Amino acid sequence: MNSSKDKRASDKIDLKQRILNAAREIFLEQGYDRTSVRMIAEKIGYSATTIYLHFQDKNEILHTLHTEGFEILNSRMAVLLQMDDPFERLKAMGKMYIDFALSNPELYDLMFIQVSPLTKLEEEDELWKEGNTAFGALKKTVTNCIDRKYFPHHDAEVTAFVIWSALHGMITLHHRNRCTKVISEPNKERIVSLGLEAFIHLLSSLKK
């Protein structure tokens, strides 16, 4: 009896993951507005009714994908928070963020570029818990750096925002193929990593 229940539970989890995988692919191919629950259902060979047994609507599906991405990112960030030297930690966080974005371009797009995942939060008047965790880790690290005489006379939140914006800008330019025709061949393949190195060098100069 228990094995039968376990199998049904496992099948339910597998189907939910199939829905999410199909939705991720269609969202990125068609865009959020052009995607329908029926399209997702057809992708996995089920009826739209089956989708509604697992998710309220396509907005909940997209928000679930977005949350899964942040769970991965924040778990990696949590490991780095154990580093004692805050500037070394900041460098490691930057590299991890870049590696995550370059290794998961579609997921990064859903997490940081598309507006739609945050619509659910606005509808329910909720805080962006996942984003606050990630940005909070960065802000804490910048605060620790300021305590160690880096970034003198800088506000921790504003400085953290500038750092996040710089990395996000490099990643987005790369993901949107804005670098292919303007960056020289020797640098083209590694331009984001090289950009991170240059940015870290700039930050390291901001110390008393």
> Please, which pLDDT band fits residue 1 given cuts at 50, 70 and 90?
low
CA-to-CA dists, residue 75 to 69, 80, 120, angstroms: 10, 9, 23
CA distance 18 to 41: 10
- The tens digit of pLDDT for each residue in 23-41 reads 988 988 888 788 999 999 9
Mean pLDDT, residues 188-197 taken together: 94
Task: Tell me the three state secondary structure of residue 148.
Answer: coil
64-73, 159-168, 191-200: least confidently modelled range: 64-73
pLDDT of residue 128: 80
CATH number listed for the domain at residues 57-204: 1.10.357.10
> Please, which pLDDT band fits residue 73 given cuts at 50, 70 and 90?
very high
Mean pLDDT, residues 162-172 taken together: 97
pLDDT at 9 over 60: no
Mean pLDDT for the chain overall: 88
pLDDT at 160 over 70: yes
Can you give the residue ranges of every domain in the chain?
Answer: 1-55, 57-204
Per-residue burial over 60-98, b if 16 or more Cβ lie within 10 Å, else e, is ebbbbbbebbbeebbeebeebeebeebbebbbbbbbebb
Mean pLDDT, residues 130-151 taken together: 95
pLDDT of residue 60: 87
120-124, 170-174, 175-179, 180-184: least confidently modelled range: 120-124
pLDDT at 7 over 50: no
pLDDT of residue 14: 87
Q: Write the secondary structure of 23-36 as one string of H (helix), E (strand) and C (coil).
A: HHHHHHHHCCCCCC
pLDDT of residue 12: 65
136-140, 144-148, 186-190: least confidently modelled range: 186-190
Q: 1-55: CATH homologous superfamily?
A: Homeodomain-like (1.10.10.60)
Mean pLDDT, residues 105-123 taken together: 76
